[in-house]
């Protein structure tokens, strides 16, 4: 694979006394959508948080665009061009939708063209632009969380289960926005349990089990092979 945007080599992370990531290796090809898959509790969220520096890797390498991310403090990792959408969304309930969005644009005011694109992708955010984010529905908060990570153009987006608990129409809106990001040449590492979304968006897949990567390959190969899905994840993906 030539010139990946992100490379993890033998990454180990402890949480308290637990050895959670036990040598994680994979690459995220530039301009593609890479699905990070696996059963509950295998270390997907911990992997994203380790890349962002919210957990500290105790050994291994995390190379972003050729530079060693482990040398950068957490705030600098975002400024280096990585957008992160955490599973818990990280919305500020007392701030308005606009104020939350402005916080996502770390290098200055929200670019008007960017705002126009985001409001076209997520129209509900325009409707509630001046409302407190705490009043949004669960699905709207998820849209805000994603839109905030996109408030600025980033090279790489790490997104943790964006469609969890969402109604089908909102899932389609979310999937379209991610497809547009990819069309703009951006790279995405996506944790996603929804089979249809994973199949529709993923170029490649990385499957984890017990703190390690147990399979990497084309998403289409995994999506078409139920035996492989059962071997890797214990269930075929339709059953998730």
Ligand X SMILES: Nc1ncnc2c1ncn2[C@@H]1O[C@H](COP(=O)(O)OP(=O)(O)OP(=O)(O)O)[C@@H](O)[C@H]1O
> For binding to ligand X (CB under 6 A), which residues are involved?
15-16, 18, 20, 38, 40-46
Specify the residue, 88 or 227, whose C-beta has the smaller distance to ligand X. Answer: 88
Specify the residue, 16 or 183, whose C-beta has the smaller distance to ligand X. Answer: 16
Specify the residue, 52 or 125, whose C-beta has the smaller distance to ligand X. Answer: 52
Smallest separation (angstroms) from ligand X to the CB of 36: 8
Give CA–CA dist 210/23, Å, rounded. 10
Smallest separation (angstroms) from ligand X to the CB of 174: 18
Give CA–CA dist 69/62, Å, rounded. 6
Strands 82-85 and 156-160: parallel
Smallest separation (angstroms) from ligand X to the CB of 101: 26
Smallest separation (angstroms) from ligand X to the CB of 224: 23
Specify the residue, 55 or 122, whose C-beta has the smaller distance to ligand X. Answer: 55
Q: Within the chain, where are the H helices? A: 44-52, 74-79, 97-104, 112-121, 123-127, 138-149, 168-183, 195-201, 219-223, 226-233
State how far the alpha carbon of 137 is from the alpha carbons of 93, 142, 143, 165, in Å: 11, 9, 10, 12
């Amino acid at each position: 694979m030539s010139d990946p945007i992100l490379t993890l080599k033998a990454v180990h992370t402890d949480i308290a006394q637990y050895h959670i990531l036990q040598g994680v290796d994979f690459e995220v090809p530039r301009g593609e959508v890479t699905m990070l898959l696996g059963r509950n509790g295998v270390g997907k969220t911990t992997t994203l948080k380790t890349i962002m520096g919210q957990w500290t890797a105790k050994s291994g390498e995390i190379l972003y665009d050729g530079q060693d991310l482990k040398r950068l403090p957490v705030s600098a990792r975002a400024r280096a061009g990585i957008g992160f959408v955490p599973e818990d969304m990280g919305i500020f309930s007392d701030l308005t939708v606009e104020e939350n969005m402005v916080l996502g644009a770390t290098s200055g005011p929200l670019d008007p063209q960017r705002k126009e694109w985001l409001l076209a992708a997520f129209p509900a955010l325009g409707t509630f632009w001046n409302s407190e984010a705490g009043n949004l529905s669960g699905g709207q908060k998820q849209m805000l969380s994603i839109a905030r990570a996109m408030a600025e153009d980033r090279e790489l987006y790490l997104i943790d289960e964006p469609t969890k608990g969402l109604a089908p129409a909102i899932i389609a809106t979310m999937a379209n926005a991610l497809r547009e990001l990819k069309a703009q040449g951006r790279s995405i590492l996506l944790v996603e349990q929804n089979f249809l979304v994973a199949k529709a968006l993923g170029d490649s897949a990385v499957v984890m089990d017990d703190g390690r990567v147990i399979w990497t390959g084309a998403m289409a190969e995994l999506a078409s092979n139920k035996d492989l899905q059962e071997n890797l994840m214990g269930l075929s993906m339709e059953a998730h």
